[in-house]
Each structure stands twice: as C-alpha cells, then as structure tokens.
Amino acid sequence: MTNQTVNGDSQPGRGSLDRLAEKELEALRRKGLERRTRRVEGRAGPRLRVDGREVLMLAGSNYLDLAGDERVLAAARAAVDEYGGAAGGSRLINGNLALHEELEAELARFAGHRAALLFSTGYMANLGVLATLAGPDDAIVSDSLNHASIVDACRLSRAQTRVFRHNDPRDLERVASGLAGFRRRILVTDGVYSMDGDVARLAELVPVARAHDMIVVLDDAHGLGALGPSGRGTAELEGVEVDVAVGNLGKALGSFGAYVACSETVRSWLINAARSFIFTCGLAPAAAGAARAALQIASAEPQRRKTLHERAEQLRAGLRDAGFDTGASTTHIVPAIVGDNARVMALCEAALERGIYAQGIRFPSVPRGTERIRFTPTSAHKADEIAFAVRTFAELRSP
C-alpha cells in the first residue's frame, strides 16, 4: 500500500465521499442555508470574544449568569477532585455515582416530583422518555412548534403522531377527540418555545389532555430556573401538574446535561427501558457538581430571575419601538422577525461588526417568511447594554 493510498485522497471511497459532501454543501450555499460554527473565547458572561471580536453576548442560554459564577466553578472543581474527570461508564454498570443520586434528589424536590433521572442531554432525555412511554399502538399529540428533539423522539417511538396548531387548546380538543382505540395517548409540549419566546398555555391545554386520559409530558428546557414564582418553570407559572417534566442543566443552571422529573415508578421504568439512558456514559462529575451549586444559587437568589425579565422586557419594548415584530414573545427569548434568509444573516453580521452577537435564525429552523434575529439576554446584562443593542439594531434597520 502506497503512502498516497494511506495519507492522501486515494483511500477507497474518500474522493467520492468528498465530492458528494461538496455537492450537498453547494446546494445549501445556493439556498443561503450553509451553517458554520463561531469561535467563542472567554469565561461565560455578558461579554465574550466571538470570532476574535469582543461582543455583547445576546445569543446564549446562560440566562441566570451562572455558567461563570465562581461558586459554580468551585463546585465543579470539587466534584472532579472527589470523583475524577468522568463517571467511567454507564449508570447501569459502574457509572452510577453518589453525586448523580444526590443531584437527582435535589432536582426532584425542586421540580415538585417524587423522583428524577439524569440524562446526558435534553435531546437524549426526550428520545428516552417518548420512546419508552409510546410504541406502535399508541398516539402522541405534539404542538406544531415543538423542538426538533421532540419531533425526532416521536419518530423514534414509532407511535402514531398527531400535530395540533401551536398553543391552541381548541385544536388539541379536536385532535384528542379522534384518538379512541389507541392503547396510550400522550400530550407533549415545550414549556417555552425556543424560537418565539412564548409560553405553552398549560392551564388550558392540560385540562383537555386530562379529559381524554392523556399522559402529559413537558419539555421545560428554557423554563427551568427562569419562570414561576420559585423558578420551577412553566408548570409552576401556569399552576398545573404534569406527569413527566424534562429539564435542562445547560441553560439557566449554567452546567451541562438534563433530567427527567417523574414518579419513582416511572423513573425505574426509564432506567430499564430508555435506551438513551442505558447505553451511554453517566454525566461527568464536573457537570453534576456545577448543577448542584447552580440549583442552590437559583433558589436562593430570585433577584436573578427578576432582573432577567426586566432586561428582556426592555429589549422587547425597544425593538418594537424601533419597528421590529417581536411576535408572541413574553419571556427571556426575544425574536426580531425580519423575513428572508439573506436579510436576516446580513443583519446578524452587521451587528457582530458593531460588537453585538445575536444569532440569525433561518428557514427551515423557523417557517419561511419568519426568519429572525433571536435575542437571549441574561440577568448579568446592564440596562445601558440593552439600550445599546436596541439603538444598534434600530440604526441597522433604517434604510
């Protein structure tokens, strides 16, 4: 075998695969849909370096500014000192750390459930939950704007999936009324919709589900820590109880991973049936330690939530005054709807040059014609920083 065959593009299949990849990439470029990563430097906070430029960070999910909090980092270091850098295996073999169980107990209490189970990511949590609860004889009813992880989980479950109009209790009633004959019926919805910043109307949706004997699953990735009188999320805000709540540790709690809050019996079922739990390594000790500290801080310092929503409302009102459509947003996720992929990305890049990073979101991530800049302020942003962002986007919008 020649060196060219070993090291060059003459390896079997490599050239043809690269040509195929380039063809697909070129098709994305022509549509204005090619994505690329951005290089981020610095400790998480309201300002970071993005692609070599210091910017006001309005494109993250570090809502309560805990990802760089020294107490959170100290807890992560302490966990590494005690347990090492990794769990070292799956939870069902050797990776079930005492730290995992301690965090799960604290998350369950915080979420108002009897038990909780950690997953590596929110995506894996949704896959595990829905593929466990549902199968070919079951029906899942999903909001039309649910997150991609829910869409994929519905597909993986092999259940019959029915979609109802976004946040529409009457349409949920219509869909639920046609589910006679299925073994199980499941309603799944986001708590806060990640592209629009509106809140699921759980106070109206859950009673419809209960009337039709449906299991209620809530993905509250963006609500945990940020919404509700105690920060427990969308269900607390709406005054309802759900059967299963999926929460994310990598957003308001400034760490990494996810959990499912449920009953002790459902937790045991997931341990035995959720493939995305069984066949993966346990959460890294640093992430678990950080999440424990962040959960305590979020509970003890409600001012963070208050400031977060003050900054979000300042941003939303300012953008509206500048002529932007902010849609149905009522939370810390604030869209500025522009329409057209090219226009929205040009606006994103122009703002980045002026020192503001707020990501452009294109079709097909959002419906065609609703392409937008997606702003996500944090509790650490100051009022004058938000005012600067509004002023900048107002100037960029002007002819």
Query: What is the CA 261 to chain-centroid distance, rounded?
Result: 16
Structural domain contains residue 38: yes
Structural domain contains residue 390: yes
| 222, 309, 332, 381: the active-site residue | 222
DSSP code for 282: P
Does residue 107 sit in the same domain as residue 187? yes
Residue at a domain's end among 300, 321, 346:
300
Cβ atoms of 53 and 63 within 8 Å: the answer is: no
Structural domain contains residue 269: yes
> In Å, what is the CA distance from 223 to each residue of 113, 178, 193, 194, 200?
16, 31, 9, 10, 10
Q: Which residue has the tokens 């309802």?
A: 240
Cβ atoms of 207 and 222 within 8 Å: the answer is: no
CATH code assigned at 392: 3.90.1150.10
* Euclidean distance between CA atoms 114 and 108, whole angstroms: 6
Residue at a domain's end among 279, 300, 321:
300
Does residue 319 sit in the same domain as residue 351? yes
The confidence score (pLDDT) of residue 12 equals 57
Residue at a domain's end among 300, 317, 334:
300
Structural domain contains residue 16: no
Cβ atoms of 63 and 308 within 8 Å: the answer is: yes
The confidence score (pLDDT) of residue 261 equals 98
Say whether 251 is catalytic.
yes
Does residue 123 sit in the same domain as residue 172? yes
Structural domain contains residue 365: yes
| 61, 157, 194, 379: the active-site residue | 194
Does residue 196 sit in the same domain as residue 287? yes
| 113, 147, 166, 251: the active-site residue | 251
The confidence score (pLDDT) of residue 6 equals 46
Q: Give the SS3 label for residue 259.
A: strand
Does residue 149 sit in the same domain as residue 88? yes
Q: What domain count does the chain have? A: 2
What tokens appear for 61 in the block? Answer: 């999910």
Does residue 190 sit in the same domain as residue 338? no
Structural domain contains residue 20: no
The confidence score (pLDDT) of residue 398 equals 74
Q: What does the chain come to in residues?
A: 399
Cis previous bond, 169, omega within 30: no
Does residue 308 sit in the same domain as residue 173? no
Say whether 309 is catalytic.
no
Q: Which residue has the tokens 């998480």?
A: 44
Give 39: exposed, middle or buried? Use CB within 10 Å, 0-12, 13-18, 19+.
Answer: exposed
What tokens appear for 212 in the block? Answer: 């039709």
**pTM listed for this prediction:** 0.94
The confidence score (pLDDT) of residue 32 equals 84
DSSP code for 376: B
* Euclidean distance between CA atoms 138 and 119, whole angstroms: 24
Structural domain contains residue 195: yes
The confidence score (pLDDT) of residue 13 equals 64
Does residue 262 sit in the same domain as residue 123? yes
Task: Give the domain range for residue 167.
Answer: 70-300
Structural domain contains residue 253: yes
Does residue 226 sit in the same domain as residue 372? no
* Euclidean distance between CA atoms 129 and 348, whole angstroms: 36
Say whether 382 is catalytic.
no
CATH code assigned at 229: 3.40.640.10
Does residue 308 sit in the same domain as residue 387? yes
* Euclidean distance between CA atoms 66 and 49, whole angstroms: 18
Tens-binned pLDDT, residue by residue, of the chain (399 aa): 444 444 545 565 668 999 999 999 999 998 888 989 999 999 999 999 999 999 999 999 999 999 999 999 999 999 999 999 999 999 999 999 999 999 999 999 999 999 999 999 999 999 999 999 999 999 999 999 999 999 999 999 999 999 999 999 999 999 999 999 999 999 999 999 999 999 999 999 999 999 999 999 999 999 999 999 999 999 999 999 999 999 999 999 999 999 999 999 999 999 999 999 999 999 999 999 999 999 999 999 999 999 999 999 999 999 999 999 999 999 999 999 999 889 999 999 999 999 999 999 998 889 999 999 999 999 999 999 999 999 999 999 876
Does residue 76 sit in the same domain as residue 170? yes
Does residue 271 sit in the same domain as residue 384? no
